[in-house]
């Protein structure tokens, strides 16, 4: 009889443990979100979006240059990564049995595991050193290497969801394979592929480490690809480790904008991806 109570007690304790560990992760998550919301929203003003930074000591100013810089660098990186990534995704889903596609799959897995700072150093060595200047272009290259494995993986998964009988129907009509791939499989999955790209962009937009010594950062508005360019994460970092109260407030406001941007994109993409998978019954 005693043993039965002991077993029941153990069972109950385990339930408590799982609950505690779930709370151990959810509480920090809510704390971070609440902290960023409260601190960030109170530091936020219209100036933040429309003004450039003021010199140290003067209160006010904003991060217009960094917001535009982030958009510019991330889109440039995406423009490099998306065509290559989708092409590899097609190869992996349509020719999955070849030896090369197994090697490519492993490459993608290993690439997604490379620390982002190492990618930053690679971009520095390959782009910054030969061109002899920090540049937005180098930052875009670094971000494109970060986005690449994500885009390849999601596009492979999405294209594999296209049922085989659709491919066969196209081939049965006498279409060559490239037309089936391009005009049936790819065309039918465009909106789904877009969600994969949004996921990759949301990941790249938050990266700081690869931009530290590629795009570097500056304090003015610049659209020149060959010059250093500010970005939101790097600007937050610079302000966060500075001793000035006003700059730290700006860092919070920046974190708020960055979080809202990234979480919206991420949740949106996830929502659509789970909907797609539900519809296909997977």
Residues between 198 and 217 that touch another protein (CB under 8 A): 202-203, 205-209, 212-213, 216
Contact between 209 and 116 under an 8 Å Cβ cutoff? The reply is: yes
Q: Least distance in Å: CB of 207 to another protein?
A: 7
Residue 209 CB partners (closer than 8 Å, separation 6+): 115, 116, 117, 120
32-51 residues near another protein, rule: CB under 8 A: 32, 35-36, 39
Q: Is 225 in the site for another protein (CB under 8 A)?
A: no
- Which one, of 167, 164, 152, lies nearest residue 103 by Cα? 152
- Which one, of 211, 226, 240, 203, lies nearest residue 85 by Cα? 203
Coil, strand, or helix at residue 26? helix
Contact between 166 and 184 under an 8 Å Cβ cutoff? The reply is: yes
Coil, strand, or helix at residue 193? helix
CA distance 267 to 68: 22
56-75 residues near another protein, rule: CB under 8 A: none
Q: Least distance in Å: CB of 7 to another protein?
A: 5
Task: Work out which of 78, 82, 90, 185 binds another protein, going by CB under 8 A.
Answer: 90
Number of residues binding to another protein, judged by CB under 8 A: 83
Task: Work out which of 56, 79, 106, 221 binds another protein, going by CB under 8 A.
Answer: 106
Segment interacting with another protein, rule: CB under 8 A, options 43-51, 57-65, 98-106, 186-194 = 98-106
Q: Least distance in Å: CB of 192 to another protein?
A: 19
- Which one, of 124, 121, 127, 133, lies nearest residue 227 by Cα? 133
Q: Is 31 in the site for another protein (CB under 8 A)?
A: yes
CA distance 246 to 126: 37
Segment interacting with another protein, rule: CB under 8 A, options 19-27, 50-58, 63-71, 189-197 = 19-27
Distance of CA 209 to the CA centre of its chain: 13
146-185 residues near another protein, rule: CB under 8 A: 148, 152, 176-178, 181
One character per residue 110-149, x = contact with another protein (rule: CB under 8 A): xx-xxxxxxx-xx-xxx------------------x--x-
Task: Work out which of 38, 45, 50, 95 binds another protein, going by CB under 8 A.
Answer: 95
Token pair in block for residue 65: 């240059």
């Amino acid at each position: 009889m005693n043993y039965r109570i002991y077993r029941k007690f153990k069972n109950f304790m385990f339930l408590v443990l799982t609950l505690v560990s779930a709370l151990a992760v959810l509480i920090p998550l809510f704390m971070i979100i609440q902290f960023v919301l409260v601190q960030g929203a109170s530091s936020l003003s219209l100036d933040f979006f429309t003004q450039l930074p003021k010199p140290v000591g003067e209160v006010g100013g904003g991060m217009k240059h960094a917001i535009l810089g982030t958009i510019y660098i991330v889109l440039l990186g995406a423009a490099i990564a998306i065509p290559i990534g989708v092409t590899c995704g097609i190869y992996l889903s349509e020719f999955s049995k070849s030896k090369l596609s197994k090697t490519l799959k492993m490459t993608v897995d290993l690439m997604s595991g490379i620390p982002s700072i190492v990618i930053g150093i690679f971009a520095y060595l390959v782009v910054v050193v030969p061109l002899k200047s920090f540049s937005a272009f180098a930052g875009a290259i670094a971000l494109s290497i970060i986005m690449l494995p994500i885009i390849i993986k999601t596009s492979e998964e999405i294209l594999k969801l296209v049922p085989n009988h659709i491919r066969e129907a196209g081939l049965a009509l006498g279409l060559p394979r490239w037309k089936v791939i391009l005009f049936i499989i790819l065309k039918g999955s465009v909106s789904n592929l877009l969600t994969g790209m949004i996921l990759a962009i949301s990941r790249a937009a938050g990266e700081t480490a690869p931009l530290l010594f590629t795009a570097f950062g500056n304090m003015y508005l610049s659209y020149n690809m060959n010059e250093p360019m500010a970005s939101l994460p790097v600007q937050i970092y610079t302000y966060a480790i500075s001793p000035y109260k006003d700059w730290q407030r700006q860092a919070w406001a920046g974190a708020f904008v960055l979080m809202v941007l990234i979480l919206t994109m991420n949740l949106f993409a996830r929502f659509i991806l789970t909907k797609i998978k539900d519809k296909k019954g997977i």
